[in-house]
Structure 1
Amino acid sequence: MPILGLSPSFEASKPAHFDIEKVIRPNILSLHPYRCARDDYQVGILLDANENALGHSIPRSIPETELQSTLDLDLHRYPDPSHDLIKSRLAEMRGMPGTKHVFLGVGSDEVIDLIMRVCVAPGKEKILTTPPTYGMYAVAAQVNDIEIVKCQLELDGRDGEGGKKGRFSLRVDEVKKLVDADPAIKLIFLCSPGNPTGTLIDLSSIRALLDYENFKGVVIVDEAYIDFAGEHASAISLVKDYANLCVIQTLSKSFGLAAIRLGVAFAQPPLIQVLTNAKAPYNISTPTAHLALAALAPDAVDAMQAKISTLISSRTYLLQALALLSPLGLGTPIGASDGNFVLVPILNSATKVPDNERAQKVYQALAEENQVVVRFRGKEPGCTGCLRMSVGTDKEIVVLLKKFEEVLKAIQ
């Protein structure tokens, strides 16, 4: 089996008796890596990766003790292995009792991978995911030789509602049936608000799985976009009552710090301690920790929350403006739009149904001819013909709408 991404014309070097493909595990050779937004386009107005378009919220007036020059840090020393001050600030901000309820990872992706490694036996046990959902669950599972059981979210339902009857809501009874049929399922991964769905999962649905006696594993709730979903939306409020819950968050989205790669897990101390025991000794670098501390200072958190309010208002405006393009074959946004992005179907000009072919053409024309980069999500369940676009700055939204209108008129 060839190595994916390696040119077929590549000629192996000596020695002749060595074949790298016979050394690599088969599940790794067959791995299709996560395709990130920057793999396709890297210049222009970038509305494809759900980044915080308003940037980070670290004030320039932050005290030097909070944010000193990177060159002044003790970079010749290994970093703090625990970073308790960061954990303490996160615990206080999210209403956790203390640092023993907090784990830090290199982005939430490290947390996802690590929790699979410590909980699920390769080749024997399984995880459950709810497509359409974040692609890294599948990548991490294949790397760790873990089978995936899939239970699709509700693909019909009403849009704009994250409750039990809304589109992309959690089908709790179906998840329970799969758990009943397969005791090898150790982890259930829920993305809330979902990516690419943008829909918040109802807390009562999460609680129903946590209370289900037939499920003996852990429910993982990935809340990368939770700060855009309003108050009382987070499952973190359930951590104090449920030892079988792990809530994952990140500083990449609402904090506008995607570049520093800091993810967070909140759970009761036993699970946090196991993750701590299994992690690399110095997984969080000193520069990352320094920036995180600055971002978690009170003034910076206030600024972050102000930017969230701005982005939520901009999201409302974007949805209203996109509705005006419906005569050009732009469908009504689907999902509840609880994140910092929206998911919009491109319709076939003749049949008025979502159309992947036209959506691909619109996506490419926006990026290649107009330098406006969104994300094609049409191959995800329930997302046929869909483009996902981040909420940009006011100027970026104006350009997006103008170019979108031009491209929709040109591509029928």
Structure 2
Amino acid sequence: MPILGLSPSSKPNHPPHFNIEKVIRPNILSLHPYRCARDDYKQGILLDANENAFGHSITRSFSGEEGVIADLQTTLDLDLHRYPDPSHADIKQRIASLRNVPGAEYVFLGVGSDEVIDLLMRVCVVPGGGEKILTTPPTYGMYAVCAQVNDVGVVKVPLEGRFSVRVDEVKKAIDADPNIKLIFLCSPGNPTGTLISLKSIKALLDYEKFSGIVVVDEAYIDFANENTSTVSLVEEYANLCVMQTVSKSFGLAAIRLGIAIAQPPLIQILTNTKAPYNISTPTAHLARAALTPTAVTSMRAKVSTLVQSRAALLQKLASLAPLGLGSAIGGNDANFILMPVLTKDGSGEPDSERAQRVYKALAEENGVVVRYRGGEVGCQGCLRITVGTEEENEVALSKMGEVLRVI
């Protein structure tokens, strides 16, 4: 069954054992996507979408609120009374150029990566628990949440050692359960900060017994070394979907823009299934600005500073070892560090109960908020600490030392 909206391609499929039409749910393949007004016409006297022709209702000035309105001027100049562009081809093209893929047809935009995760499950995995996804804990919690919401089963293959993917164990899980449709890999991992090698990912993409899609979540990829992104494999592998975001390296978490990069058939399926106007005009406006050459250069400079700060923070946190803070675990390839809090008796064992007390004391009594991760597989006693500004890092180090002395 052809994918609606997708032009036929003469390009040979790779890997040969993968057929996207056998992965996507039949009712999704036959879906005629909702056609919104702006799919047809974008200019002219627009009387087709029941919009307010008089424009938005935010006035240019309010008594006593001039400062607020001044901050809104650029946004107020947008056509907020019109529904947004449903395709955002210009943003997709900028992302395609930035990530070195052929064109906008390789890019999908979602309301954060969470919408992409949810859509992938909805289009690929039949609800009821018979069909499943595979995750590699400890990992991003939304994979399991979305699976539960969609009534989808979860097979878990825990990471090992310094949180590396056990490819052989993943293959065994696939052999044991042919109903696995999606594999979710987080690289660099959250909360582990560990980068997954392209060799490991290719081993799963090439595995003939897995007919589903490998999804690689690269929310933190800009903090890792160059030439480590799985996007470099997208043109070759039809069974690969890479997720990225503007929340982390671009510092735009508030605008909720997630990205999927994959071959056109899967991108078209996601496009056919998404809500009509999922990306708002203000979000698109800010994203477009963030993807200009000047802004991308600024992003990379800030990422470089954060990577240097990460190394400095690791070094300084090591000085708290006598107070029971263990060495960082994981790969340290993201903008955070995973540190185990140890027992106070000097045994060197991670102590989740103490870590939780440290976490609460930092937040409630010292104004320093880190993330407790002691309940995750392989993360006993761990706190996840985001790399902040130099001033924030210094305060966090000082307060951490004070709290560890008394708890």
Q: Same fold (TM over 0.5)?
A: yes
User: Secondary structure of 1:284's partner?
Assistant: coil
Task: Name the counterpart of 2:350.
Answer: 354
Structure 2 alignment gaps of length 5 or more = 1-71
Hey, what's the Cα distance between the residues in 1 that align with 2:279 and 2:96? 17
Runs of 4+ deviating beyond 4 Å: none
Q: 1:233 Cα shift? A: 1.1
Structure 1 alignment gaps of length 5 or more = 1-66, 157-166
Task: Name the counterpart of 1:49.
Answer: none
1:348-372 CA distance string (max 9 Å, x none): 0112210011101100110111000
Task: Name the counterpart of 2:218.
Answer: 223
- The 1:388–1:96 alpha-carbon spacing in structure 2 relative to 1, beyond 3 Å, is same
Hey, what's the Cα distance between the residues in 2 that align with 1:104 and 1:73? 20
Hey, what's the Cα distance between the residues in 2 that align with 1:70 and 1:135? 34
Give the length in aligned residue pairs.
334
1:253-274 CA distance string (max 9 Å, x none): 0000000000000000000000
Query: Which of the numbers 140, 143, 154 marks the counterpart of 2:146?
Result: 140
What is the identity percentage for the equivalent residue pairs of Structure 1 and Structure 2?
A: 72
Task: Name the counterpart of 2:202.
Answer: 207
Task: Name the counterpart of 1:6.
Answer: none
TM-score in terms of structure 2 length: 0.81
Task: Name the counterpart of 1:36.
Answer: none
Matches within 5 A, 1:22-61: none
Instruction: Name the amino acid aligned to 2:124.
Output: C
Which shows bigger deviation, 278-287 or 348-357?
348-357
Matches within 5 A, 1:51-130: 69-123=74-128, 124-130=130-136
Task: Name the counterpart of 1:39.
Answer: none
Hey, what's the Cα distance between the residues in 2 that align with 1:95 and 1:211? 22
User: Secondary structure of 2:86's partner?
Assistant: coil
Query: Which of the numbers 242, 253, 272 marks the counterpart of 2:267?
Result: 272
**Does structure 1 residue 236 correspond to structure 2 residue 231?**
yes
**Does structure 1 residue 149 correspond to structure 2 residue 155?**
yes
User: Secondary structure of 2:244's partner?
Assistant: strand
Task: Name the counterpart of 2:29.
Answer: none
Between 1 and 2, higher relative CO (CA 8 Å, sep ≥ 6) is seen in 1
User: Secondary structure of 1:246's partner?
Assistant: strand
Hey, what's the Cα distance between the residues in 2 that align with 1:68 and 1:396? 32
Task: Name the counterpart of 1:160.
Answer: none
**Does structure 1 residue 308 correspond to structure 2 residue 303?**
yes
Task: Name the counterpart of 2:315.
Answer: 320
User: Secondary structure of 2:241's partner?
Assistant: strand
Query: Which of the numbers 374, 377, 380 marks the counterpart of 1:378?
Result: 374
Instruction: Name the amino acid aligned to 2:85.
Output: D
Query: Which of the numbers 239, 243, 248 marks the counterpart of 1:248?
Result: 243
TM-score in terms of structure 1 length: 0.80
Hey, what's the Cα distance between the residues in 2 that align with 1:188 and 1:352? 35
Q: 1:68 Cα shift? A: 7.0
**Does structure 1 residue 366 correspond to structure 2 residue 388?**
no
Task: Name the counterpart of 1:282.
Answer: 277
User: Secondary structure of 1:212's partner?
Assistant: coil
Instruction: Name the amino acid aligned to 1:131.
Output: P
Task: Name the counterpart of 2:30.
Answer: none
Hey, what's the Cα distance between the residues in 1 that align with 2:165 and 2:199? 10
Hey, what's the Cα distance between the residues in 2 that align with 1:178 and 1:352? 34
User: Secondary structure of 2:334's partner?
Assistant: coil
Q: 1:281 Cα shift? A: 0.5
Hey, what's the Cα distance between the residues in 1 that align with 2:197 and 2:375? 25
